[in-house]
Structure 1
């Protein structure tokens, strides 16, 4: 019997077509809008895509992001056809991650869906499907915290009268976002990826008080939906109603029909305020964050 040949290789921008083909064969939507966002992710200096082939056929892939701020790595996408998961899923994930701690990577973060509910396509969403939880746990990942997210109809009962300033360089808000770690922002590598990707796609905005950032919104848009992946604010100067008003201002400015907001554990009040401002709210739902310390 001939032994199957399994190979895990890194993809570079000229090879992204292989990723799109693999996703299409797995039954995933690969619209022009998703491809454009995917290309934006792949062009980030610290983004990496890996493709696993079985006897020359692509059967799965992973996407990771090297976080130079907090010296970590984010595992942000895992794709594999169901027929190959039992045999190949764990080894594919393992081969995409560092084997040991280095001076530049101390840990690996992964967001995992709490159930099988429908998620947005990567890279609008960095959450892994629930079937990745078991192999991640076997590789040493443990739960550390969680995120909450809700969806809202953008027909809010109020006007978001807040000035938004586009963030054109991540360094403009780096110190501010760093200071919010563990409070209004989760201390995770996904946060810094969301900032870099949002800036590259002109979807990062701040609200300033006396010239200093006090609210940060890092998002994107797919179809008629505003996706807010990072929402951070200074709790000493800003309350939940101000944060909600900033989200409303962005939704109304660009006339989105739906708003999807993700927050850390301390952001539940913002979701509650937004829910009270519209007649259609779905959530909050929980997403677990798992971490492997190298």
Structure 2
């Protein structure tokens, strides 16, 4: 019997068509909108895409992001057809990650959904499907914290008077976001990816008080939905109603029909305020964050 040939190779921008083809064969939506966002992710300096082939046919892939701020790595997408998962899933994930700790990568983060959660397509969503939990656990990932998200119908929003400033360079808000780690923002590599991607796609905004950022919104949009991946604020100066008002202002400005907001454990009150403002909330749902320390 001939032994199957398995390869895991990195893709570069001219090869992104291979990723799109693999996703299409796996039954995933690859609309022009999703492809454009995917290309934006792939063009980030620290983004990496890997494709696994079995006897020359692409059967899966992973996406990771090297986080230079907190010296970590984020595993942000895992795709594999069901027929190959038992045999190849664990080894595909393992081969995409560092084997040991280095001066530039100390740990790897992964967000994992529950079984019944409907997810947005990557890279609008960095959450891995529930069937990745078992192989991740076997590779040494352990739960560290969680995120919450809810969806709201923006038709019920009331008028607000919030001035939003586009963030054109991540360095403008780096110190602010770093200071919110473990409070209004989780200490995870996904946060810094969300900032970099939002800035590259002109979807990052701050609210300033006396010229200093006090609220940061990093998001994107798909169809008629505003997706807020990072929502951080200064708890000493800003309360939940102010944060909710900033989200409302962005939703109203661009006339989104639906808003999906993701927050850390300390952001539950913001979701509650938005639920009151909109009189419509689907959630909150919980997403677990797993971490492997190298």
> TM-score, structure 2 length as denominator?
0.99
Q: Distance in 1 between matches of 2:160 and 2:204?
A: 17
Partner of 1:161, secondary structure, is coil
- Quote the offset at 1:31 in angstroms: 0.0
Note the 1:69-88 alignment, pairs <5 A: 69-88=69-88
TM superposition outliers: structure 1 runs of 4+ over 2 Å: none
Structure 1 distance, partners of 2:222, 2:161, is: 24
**Within 5 Å, which residues of 2 pair with 1:75-224?**
75-224=75-224
**Cα pair 2:215 2:243 within 8 Å, conserved:** yes
The residue aligned with 2:34 is 34
Q: Does the 8 Å CA contact 1:228/1:262 hold for their aligned counterparts?
A: yes
1:157 CA drift (Å): 4.0
Asked if structure 2 preserves the Cα contact closer than 8 Å seen for 1:116 and 1:129, the reply is no
> Are the aligned partners of 2:108 and 2:293 in contact in 1 as well (CA < 8 Å)?
yes
Structure 1 unaligned residues grouped into runs of 5+: none
| RMSD over equivalenced CA pairs, Å | 0.5
Distance (whole Å) between structure 1 residues aligned to residue 232 and residue 205 of structure 2: 11
CA positional deviation for 1:117: 2.0
> Secondary structure of 2:145's partner?
strand
- Distance in 2 (alpha carbons) for counterparts of 1:157 and 1:144: 34
Distance 1:215 1:161 in 2: 15
Deviations 1:238-292 (A, max 9, x none): 0000000000000000000000000000000000000001122100000000000
Distance 1:197 1:164, change over 3 A: same
Contact 2:157-2:252 within 8 A present in 1 as well:
no
Secondary structure of the equivalent of 1:163? coil
How many residue pairs match? The answer is: 294
CA offsets 1:187-207 (integer angstroms, 9 cap, x no match): 000000000000000000000
Whether the 8 Å contact between 1:241 and 1:270 is mirrored in structure 2 is yes
CA-CA distance at 1:164 after TM superposition: 0.1
TM-superposed deviation, 1:115? 2.0
Q: C-alpha distance in 2, partners of 1:269/1:117?
A: 22
Q: Any conservation in 2 of the 1:41–1:123 contact (CA below 8 Å)?
A: yes
Are the aligned partners of 2:157 and 2:248 in contact in 1 as well (CA < 8 Å)? no
In structure 2, distance between residues paired with 1:104 and 1:160: 43
Distance (Å, rounded) in 2 between the aligned partners of 1:7 and 1:160:
53
Measure the CA separation in 1 of the matches of 2:215 and 2:157.
Answer: 22
- Distance change (3 Å), C-alpha of 1:169 and 1:52: same
Q: C-alpha displacement at 1:26, in angstroms?
A: 0.1
- With over 3 angstroms needed to count, the CA separation of the structure-2 counterparts of 1:66 and 1:157, relative to structure 1, is closer
TM-score normalised to structure 1 length: 0.99
